[in-house]
Structure 1
Amino acid sequence: MLNNDRLLVQILLLALLGACLWVLAPFVSALFWAAVLAFASWPLMRLLSNLLHGRESTAAGLLTAGWMLLVALPLVWLGSNLAQHVRDATELVKDVQVQGLPPPPDWLPQIPLVGERLVRAWHSIDAQGAAFFASLKPYMGQAGNWILARSAQLGGGVLELVLSLVLVFFFYRDGPRMALFVERGLERLIGDRAEHYLELVAGTVQRVVNGVIGTAAAQALLALIGFWIAGVPGALVLAIATFALSLIPMGPPLVWVPVTAWLAWHGDYGYAVFLGIWGMFIISGVDNVLKPYLISRGGNLPLVVVLLGVFGGILAFGFMGLFLGPTLLAVAYSLISDWIGHGQPAQVVVTSTEVEKEREGRSS
């Protein structure tokens, strides 16, 4: 017979858990990124705590302040440069309206089939500059609304990032207690296999972090090589910006595409074409090859599971899916493997000879 008191307590606990999740729902993304950052940099926390003779709160505060400086300064630099580029683009449009377009490049008429048409279109736009820009006004309004919406999203992302950097302090300070709490909860839920699945999740997240950081470093190095070859000023700073933006999907084109346009505007058409090809197939292309390889390296997951986890996770959950996708598939793959590998109990087969011997023994 069901214990009504126990059932009532379970229902109340589920309702309390649902209410807690409802309260924390607006902060799920910030909590997730704070947990990932704390886990990925936990060796630094342990080293700093040992240097400070076990003062965990001080170590957590210093490490959080370091992350604030490391992340805030590049964001301020990128924001100021973006504002400067917006002003430059506005002045460029005004100059084109007043002075017209520069002469078409020498290589433009040499393009097969469409070269002459492009030159005529170039001269037509130059001759009808005012009318052309007047026809673009409705589209420019739509583009302005799109930029405004993206700016609002970017501002929300910055606020979420700042909140994550604040929350990471508590993950640093209370990390061991949180880990023990999760481990004991899983032991009550799934028994002795809790430690195995915790190690599986930890290993998957660590490999994803290594894959993201390693791919960002490779893209920054390749971007630096391309900028040096093209003779772009400030190549090192642009490479650092490429590293920072490589941590988000489709981030590197935000660096090499404007640089390519800048080269073309200054008449370096050969280097502009080179950098465009280098950026599309080398800088951005390496992400699709190197990241899945680094994530799958050192684990027992098939590469196809990792690929589906990375790309499917991004499509399903956004940037968080880069970590959630492989982790979910890794746990599911391990659970299914354990279930399939769990053999059926062996059946005892009794032969007729053994039955006869048993009867003889009983009769004697």
Structure 2
Amino acid sequence: MISRPPESPSAPDCPKKQKAASLVLYIALVLLALWVVRDFIAAIAWAGVVAIALWPLLQKVEGSRWLSGRTTLIAVVLTCAVALLVVLPFGIGISQALHEAHDMNEWFRTVQENGIPMPDFIQRLPFGVQQISAWWQANLAQPLRDSAAMKGLHSTTVMTLGRHFGARAAHGLMVFAFMLVTLFVIFQAGPRLSGSLMTGVRRGFGNDGAQLLERMATAVRGTVSGLVVVGLGEGVLMGVAYFVTGLPHVALLAFITAIAAMLPFCAPITFGLAALWLFSQGSVAGAIGLAVFGSIVVFVAEHFVRPVLIGNSTRLPFLLVLFGILGGAETFGLLGLFIGPALMTVLVVLWTDLVQ
């Protein structure tokens, strides 16, 4: 009878070593895949944010009797709606800017030949009138054709900045296009995608991981509501104020204010410049009224409405909401506005699990 050779003492360790090697291989492959698609991560992340924000709407539409099972049609309609919501306002703004380009060109030629006359409101300033008047007469009141400022407009630095801006704009358009494609695929996959994602998370991280992912999605959805809805509200209110004070291009100014208001503490820049324009035209009361009204609107929106919308959906305190938005924007740019509160949600969940 042939005897079996004794087993090696290290035989039980082979499965553990294989699992460790497999884990290292999986991590390396994932990192390699992320490196390959690194230029499209921003588009994928933006598509994920938009999809999370519109997911309740997608579920309602798919649950209707008339559109049940028509996933491709639903995906096309929602993707086109997102594209129009972004493209249409910018298209209107660009068309108005082009409409005003002729007048701006004529004004530019005039100041080249004659200079810029000093506004009357400078004489009514409480202090610094003599210094400002002297500087204005020396630099702007004279014909600007041969001034250093006009020569600087044709310098290589300005040309370089123009090319850099064009490259950034082209990159933004590319990211937007790939975002729309990714968003269409996500909408078309629909519940199958969310079900597969939740199943994978439960297998890998258990029910706690699945609940954490759901809370992060809720945080992103609440942040979108807090930023977009409050920004649109501020734009509408300030549009009314622009109309009352007699500013031109009220619709365009309201749209710019709404976009700026979606970013924390950026709306004062827009209505502040509008107030300065009113002041330069001699409408002191209108400028003061616009500045005061805008300050009240921004104060209420930033300190009460927006934290309530975001904090109630994520169960985050006001300070963490503020730190998440500002810190996320500083770290990840515009995308960080939505990622920051989600990461703060993870922090709160981990702290809750630790202290309980």
TM-score w.r.t. length of structure 2: 0.82
Counterpart CA distance in 2 for 1:96 and 1:272 is 27
Q: SS at the partner of 2:69?
A: coil
Q: SS at the partner of 1:128?
A: coil
Are the equivalent residues in 2 in contact too, given 1:252–1:283 (CA < 8 A)? no
Partner of 1:277: 291
Shift in Å, 1:222: 2.6
Identify which of 51, 55, 73 aligns with 1:38.
Answer: 51
Counterpart CA distance in 2 for 1:157 and 1:278 is 35
Structure 2 counterparts to residues 126-275 of structure 1, below 5 A: 128-130=142-144, 133-138=147-152, 141=155, 142-143=157-158, 145-247=160-262, 252=267, 256=271, 259=274, 263=278, 267-270=281-284, 273-274=287-288
Moved more, 24-33 or 68-77: 68-77
Shift in Å, 1:37: 1.0
Matched-pair identity in %: 27
Once the two structures are superposed, residues 279-319 of structure 1 have per-residue CA deviations (whole angstroms, 9 ceiling, x without a partner) of 87356666643433421134432222111111111111111
Once the two structures are superposed, residues 302-349 of structure 1 have per-residue CA deviations (whole angstroms, 9 ceiling, x without a partner) of 2221111111111111111111111112112211210221xxxxxxxx
Q: Residues 250 and 169 (structure 1 numbering): CA distance in 2 closer, same or farther, change over 3 Å?
A: farther
Identify which of 72, 91, 108 aligns with 2:106.
Answer: 91
Partner of 2:86: 71
Structure 2: segments with no counterpart, 5+ residues: 1-12
Counterpart CA distance in 2 for 1:52 and 1:147 is 47
Q: Residues 306 and 63 (structure 1 numbering): CA distance in 2 closer, same or farther, change over 3 Å?
A: same
TM-score w.r.t. length of structure 1: 0.80
RMSD (Å), alpha carbons: 3.1
Moved more, 236-245 or 17-26: 236-245
Number of aligned residue pairs: give it: 339
Q: SS at the partner of 1:327?
A: helix
Partner of 1:120: 134
Once the two structures are superposed, residues 189-240 of structure 1 have per-residue CA deviations (whole angstroms, 9 ceiling, x without a partner) of 3222133212211221121011012221222123212211211244235323
Moved more, 54-63 or 11-20: 11-20
Identify which of 306, 311, 321 aligns with 1:296.
Answer: 311
Q: SS at the partner of 1:277?
A: helix
Counterpart CA distance in 1 for 2:289 and 2:160 is 30
Structure 2 counterparts to residues 335-350 of structure 1, below 5 A: 335-341=350-356
Counterpart CA distance in 2 for 1:264 and 1:110 is 11
Are the equivalent residues in 1 in contact too, given 2:329–2:337 (CA < 8 A)? yes
Counterpart CA distance in 1 for 2:355 and 2:178 is 43
Partner of 1:312: 327
Shift in Å, 1:12: 2.6
Partner of 1:333: 348
Does 2:132 correspond to 1:111? no
Higher relative contact order (CA 8 A, sep 6+): 2
Q: Residues 287 and 157 (structure 1 numbering): CA distance in 2 closer, same or farther, change over 3 Å?
A: farther
Are the equivalent residues in 2 in contact too, given 1:226–1:278 (CA < 8 A)? no
Identify which of 46, 49, 60 aligns with 2:75.
Answer: 60
Does 2:70 correspond to 1:24? no
Q: Could you tell me which amino acid in structure 2 is paired with residue 80 of structure 1?
A: S
Moved more, 41-50 or 254-263: 254-263
Counterpart CA distance in 1 for 2:289 and 2:163 is 29
Structure 1: segments with no counterpart, 5+ residues: 342-364
Partner of 2:116: 101
Moved more, 115-124 or 210-219: 115-124
Counterpart CA distance in 1 for 2:263 and 2:182 is 20
Does 2:130 correspond to 1:80? no
Counterpart CA distance in 2 for 1:18 and 1:76 is 39
Counterpart CA distance in 2 for 1:314 and 1:192 is 30
Partner of 2:337: 322
Moved more, 253-262 or 70-79: 253-262
Counterpart CA distance in 2 for 1:155 and 1:280 is 34
Shift in Å, 1:57: 1.3
Shift in Å, 1:275: 7.3
